[in-house]
Amino acid sequence: MKGLIHAREEGFAGLTYGELESTSIGENEVRVQLKTAGLNHRDLFVLKRHKPTDPPLVLGSDGAGVVNEVGSLVSHVQVGDEVIINPGLGWKANSEAPPEGFEIVGLPDHGTFAEQILIPAENAVAKPSFLSWEEAGVLSLAGLTAYRALFTRGKVKSGMNVLIPGIGSGVATFLLQFAKAAGADVYVTSRSEEKRAAALSLGAVHALDSNLENWEEELNEKMDLVIECVGAATFQKSLNQLRKGGTIVTFGASAGDEIKLNLRDFFYGQLNMLGSTMGSAEEFELMLQFIEQHKIKPVLDEIYPLEQFEKAFTRLENGEQLGKIGFRIE
Amino acid sequence: MKGLIHAREEGFAGLTYGELESTSIGENEVRVQLKTAGLNHRDLFVLKRHKPTDPPLVLGSDGAGVVNEVGSLVSHVQVGDEVIINPGLGWKANSEAPPEGFEIVGLPDHGTFAEQILIPAENAVAKPSFLSWEEAGVLSLAGLTAYRALFTRGKVKSGMNVLIPGIGSGVATFLLQFAKAAGADVYVTSRSEEKRAAALSLGAVHALDSNLENWEEELNEKMDLVIECVGAATFQKSLNQLRKGGTIVTFGASAGDEIKLNLRDFFYGQLNMLGSTMGSAEEFELMLQFIEQHKIKPVLDEIYPLEQFEKAFTRLENGEQLGKIGFRIE
């Protein structure tokens, strides 16, 4: 079978689309014939972490397809089932943090950028029928991350003012859709006029132009909740928008991970800063129920054939996308 | 009447012990003849914030004494009542943050370092009978701050591992006593052998020598909760001791308020950082119930006549104390 493999060279130069040997199925595993997959910032990060001396690796955390083989002990999944992949391995019930040994599909185990994947049967979840294959293929990682950050950690409630700096990424567009559906007033920022317009059409009450040095002057209200996935470049401004007693949830640092922070401002403001990453299988189920109830579909940016991975990775690295970049696998 | 007044010159040089004019009582106020008062880091901070051009100010937030006059609309406090002062002005029910207009006794209104003080009747609270006048006089600000930080914010539970870096200050000794009484395993650090020994006798399970660069190597377990009141000098080490999903509560920055923080470590750790300051009248009542139930008495360091304020301020500024420094006012 074919897949997108990282081997032999550092970073992007080590990526090739080529032939892989299939491995035999474990007794609690299923094999999924993938139809679509989704690209995440994590894949860029994996490109940096996976060393040329490590065994070759298939990248990718998101995917959807049809089960074509089941292990001998698997009972609740059958050949022919249409599934999406929950990329969290070994985190079942919701908890403050993942258990020891938690991993994500696509490092160290092979990922979804291939014709087939072997995964634990519990990670093959029924595909929501109202989603297309493209939509289903790009949902998992970003949808789960957004769900935990916004609901479990941020405890979003109807009527809250919620700020999402840097709208554009897949996870940021899910945050906007989820927060809007939860009844919050959602504020976003972007340097792109096109993305600001798209955010307004998705239901943001205000889309601020972060090219302006003092974009926050256009905010008439303080925020109850900021969901921050940009990092160092925006963090201080994000903190400054919180009301006293407000909460910032952080789960991303694509624009730098070292921040400075003034403790006195922080504790006088009675602020809360909460770290979040990924989520449990329980939260994955809750996320699926939420999008089904509110008929939320992932915002699709571009969908490429897997062979055109270079275009996709470049588009993500340059931050040109609005919503999710995906792959068709045929 | 006599009092410790700040006026005319910056900082410590502007402090004099001298005569003050009494002002007339408001209809919702009481006048308390003070017997004792307590010194806090806040008083050092007020010395920096109160300008020579501002009206002269009596410092001090903590005090205890006997009511000797009540305003015309006051019903629940009587002349002769033995009271301690809740120094929080205008924060009644517990809430995420104090309401607009919240102030603390001792800036901008006159404080407790005087023979008498006028305060709102609701801030004159019955003195716990098991405390001496010295103990009652030093309880309020540090006890309330510790209570909110540890219970309301830190949600301490029996069996938790709790770290208190920099044992010694009044608020840190309350934290140790409160956390121990709540059933936690309490770890402390100090550079002073004498303070470490005192902490062990107050019930700490381990007192680490923070003169050692890698004092944390002696910790065999990760912490569920760190209550951090030192600031920049210890903050990173404090964060590093948390288990995944653990919580750090910050309410002090006597050793610097600018910190650096790695966002990626923070969100991968699913950490929580919560700011806290002071507390509400509701928390003040809960704190009094808690110390009554567990018969907790403030750890007294030195008690000086108010005229010897220089000795007291110098001792606090040098961090020589273990527990609370107080004043006798006769």
What's the pLDDT tens digit per position in B137-189?
Answer: 999 999 999 999 999 999 999 999 999 999 988 999 999 999 999 999 999 99
Residue of chain A minimizing CA distance to B266: A275
Instruction: Identify whether B108 is preceded by a cis peptide bond (ω within 30 of 0).
Output: yes
DSSP H or E stretch at residue B146: helix B140-147
pLDDT single digits (tens) A190-225: 999 999 999 999 999 999 999 999 999 999 999 999
Q: How far does B228 lie from chain A, in Å, by closest CA?
A: 10
Q: Spell out which residues of chain A touch residue B272, defining contact as CB-CB under 8 Å.
A: 272-275
Residue B260 domain flag = yes
Flag whether residue B261 sits within 8 Å of chain A, measured between CB atoms. Answer: yes
Shared domain for A213 and A184, answered yes or no, is yes
Of the pLDDT bands very low, low, confident and very high (cuts 50, 70, 90), residue B238 is: very high
**How close are the terminal C-alpha atoms of chain B, in Å?**
11
DSSP H or E stretch at residue A6: strand A2-6
Flag whether residue B44 sits within 8 Å of chain A, measured between CB atoms. Answer: no
The arithmetic mean of pLDDT across residues B250-268, rounded, is 93
CB atoms closer than 10 angstroms to residue A319: 17
Residue B256 has pLDDT above 90, yes or no: no
Report chain B's mean pLDDT, rounded to a whole number: 96
Of the pLDDT bands very low, low, confident and very high (cuts 50, 70, 90), residue B233 is: confident
Of the pLDDT bands very low, low, confident and very high (cuts 50, 70, 90), residue B255 is: confident
Q: Spell out which residues of chain B touch residue A235, defining contact as CB-CB under 8 Å.
A: 263
Shared domain for B83 and B65, answered yes or no, is yes
A71-78 long-range contacts (CB < 8 A, ≥24 apart) are A71/A25, A71/A26, A71/A27, A71/A28, A71/A29, A71/A30, A71/A121, A72/A27, A73/A27, A73/A28, A74/A27, A74/A28, A74/A29, A74/A30, A74/A121, A76/A121, A77/A30, A77/A121, A77/A124
CB B302 within 8 A of CB B137: no
3-state class (DSSP) for residue A9:
coil
Residue B285 domain flag = no
Flag whether residue B263 sits within 8 Å of chain A, measured between CB atoms. Answer: yes
Flag whether residue B236 sits within 8 Å of chain A, measured between CB atoms. Answer: no
Q: How far does A223 lie from chain B, in Å, by closest CA?
A: 14
Write the ipTM: 0.95
pLDDT single digits (tens) A177-193: 999 999 999 999 999 99
Bridge partners (DSSP) of residue A135 are none
Nearest to B263 among A250, A271, A272 (CB): A250
The reply to whether residue B96 touches residue A277, judged by beta carbons under 8 angstroms, is: no
Shared domain for B6 and B117, answered yes or no, is yes
Cα separation, B37 vs A257, in Å, equals: 46
pLDDT single digits (tens) B127-149: 999 999 999 999 999 999 999 99
Amino acid at B246: G
Domain CATH for B209: 3.40.50.720
Q: How far does A114 lie from chain B, in Å, by closest CA?
A: 28
Residue A168 has pLDDT above 90, yes or no: no
The reply to whether residue B264 touches residue A271, judged by beta carbons under 8 angstroms, is: no
Nearest to B277 among A96, A270, A277 (CB): A270
Cα separation, A248 vs B319, in Å, equals: 34
Q: How far does A291 lie from chain B, in Å, by closest CA?
A: 25
DSSP A28-91: TEEEEEEEEEE--HHHHHHHHHS-TTSPPEE--SEEEEEEEEE-TT--S--TT-EEEE--EES-
Report chain A's mean pLDDT, rounded to a whole number: 96
Flag whether residue A253 sits within 8 Å of chain B, measured between CB atoms. Answer: yes
Q: What percent of chain B has pLDDT over 90?
A: 95
Structural domain boundaries enclosing A170: 144-275
Shared domain for A9 and A134, answered yes or no, is yes
Shared domain for A19 and A74, answered yes or no, is yes
Shared domain for A265 and A205, answered yes or no, is yes
The reply to whether residue B268 touches residue A252, judged by beta carbons under 8 angstroms, is: no
Cα separation, A101 vs A107, in Å, equals: 13
Shared domain for B131 and B149, answered yes or no, is no
What's the pLDDT at B173? 96
Residue A163 has pLDDT above 90, yes or no: yes
The 8-class DSSP code of residue B276 comes to -
What's the pLDDT at B330? 80
Residue A47 domain flag = yes
Q: How many domains does chain B have?
A: 2
Taking the CA atoms of B75, B79, B80 and B85 in sequence, report the sign of the dihedral they define.
positive
CB atoms closer than 10 angstroms to residue A196: 21
The reply to whether residue B253 touches residue A267, judged by beta carbons under 8 angstroms, is: yes
Q: Spell out which residues of chain B touch residue A45, defining contact as CB-CB under 8 Å.
A: none
Residue B254 has pLDDT above 90, yes or no: no
What's the pLDDT at A315? 96
The reply to whether residue A275 touches residue B271, judged by beta carbons under 8 angstroms, is: yes
Shared domain for B81 and B36, answered yes or no, is yes
The arithmetic mean of pLDDT across residues A246-271, rounded, is 94
Of the pLDDT bands very low, low, confident and very high (cuts 50, 70, 90), residue A253 is: confident
Shared domain for A53 and A161, answered yes or no, is no
Q: Which residue, A164, A171, A173, is CA-closest to A224?
A: A164
Of the pLDDT bands very low, low, confident and very high (cuts 50, 70, 90), residue A254 is: confident
The reply to whether residue A97 touches residue B269, judged by beta carbons under 8 angstroms, is: yes
What's the pLDDT at B10? 92
What's the pLDDT at A34? 98
Q: What percent of chain A has pLDDT over 70?
A: 100
CB B38 within 8 A of CB B302: no
A200-205 long-range contacts (CB < 8 A, ≥24 apart) are A202/A173, A202/A176, A202/A177, A202/A299, A203/A176, A203/A177, A204/A167, A204/A176, A204/A180
Q: How far does A252 lie from chain B, in Å, by closest CA?
A: 7
Flag whether residue B233 sits within 8 Å of chain A, measured between CB atoms. Answer: no
Backbone region of residue B177 per phi and psi (left: phi > 0; alpha: psi in -120 to 50; beta: other values): alpha
CB B238 within 8 A of CB B210: no
Residue B291 domain flag = no
Shared domain for B196 and B227, answered yes or no, is yes
Residue A274: both structure tokens together: 């909460």
Of the pLDDT bands very low, low, confident and very high (cuts 50, 70, 90), residue B279 is: very high
Residue B6 domain flag = yes
Shared domain for B100 and B197, answered yes or no, is no
Q: How far does B254 lie from chain A, in Å, by closest CA?
A: 10
Residue B253 domain flag = yes
Instruction: Identify whether A55 is preceded by a cis peptide bond (ω within 30 of 0).
Output: no
Q: Which residue, A287, A259, A285, is CA-closest to A273?
A: A259
Interface test with B, best of A145, A242, A259, A263 (most B CBs within 10 A): A263
The 8-class DSSP code of residue A98 comes to P
The reply to whether residue B257 touches residue A263, judged by beta carbons under 8 angstroms, is: yes
The reply to whether residue A263 touches residue B235, judged by beta carbons under 8 angstroms, is: yes
Residue A85: both structure tokens together: 């992949």
In degrees to the nearest 10, what's the CA dihedral of A101, A119, A62, A40?
40
Q: How many CB pairs under 8 A join A and B?
A: 110
CB B30 within 8 A of CB B90: no
Interface of A with B in 86-105 (CB under 8 A): 95-98
Nearest to B257 among A250, A264, A269 (CB): A264
Residue of chain B minimizing CA distance to A258: B262
Domain CATH for B14: 3.90.180.10
Residue A43 domain flag = yes
The arithmetic mean of pLDDT across residues B285-291, rounded, is 98
Shared domain for A46 and A118, answered yes or no, is yes
What's the pLDDT at B206? 97
The 8-class DSSP code of residue A298 comes to P
Q: Spell out which residues of chain A touch residue B239, defining contact as CB-CB under 8 Å.
A: none
Flag whether residue A251 sits within 8 Å of chain B, measured between CB atoms. Answer: yes
Residue A293 domain flag = no
Q: Spell out which residues of chain A touch residue B270, defining contact as CB-CB under 8 Å.
A: 96-98, 275-277
